[in-house]
Amino acid sequence: DTGVSQNPRHKITKRGQNVTFRCDPISEHNRLYWYRQTLGQGPEFLTYFQNEAQLEKSRLLSDRFSAERPKGSFSTLEIQRTEQGDSAMYLCASSRGPNEKLFFGSGTQLSVL
Q: Phi/psi of residue 85, each to 5°?
A: -70, -10
Applying CB under 8 A, the site for another protein has a residue count of 24
Considering beta carbons, is residue 66 or 109 the nearer one to another protein? 109
* 2 binding another protein? (CB under 8 A): no
User: Which one among 13, 20, 54, 106 touches another protein, defined by CB under 8 A?
Assistant: 106
For the segment 61-90, give every residue that binds another protein (CB under 8 A). Answer: 89
* 98 binding another protein? (CB under 8 A): yes
Instruction: Name the percent of the chain in helix, strand, coil, to the closest 5.
Output: 5, 50, 45
For the segment 19-48, give every residue that binds another protein (CB under 8 A). Answer: 31, 33, 35, 40-45, 48
User: In degrees, to the nearest 5, what angle opens at C-alpha 102 toward C-alphas 59 and 72?
Assistant: 75
How many angstroms separate the CA atoms of 113 and 100, rounded? 37
Considering beta carbons, is residue 27 or 41 the nearer one to another protein? 41
Q: Phi/psi of residue 86, each to 5°?
A: -80, -10
Residue 46 contacts residue 56 (beta carbons within 8 Å): no
Q: Residues in the site for another protein, rule: CB under 8 A?
A: 31, 33, 35, 40-45, 48, 50, 55-56, 89, 91, 98-99, 101-107
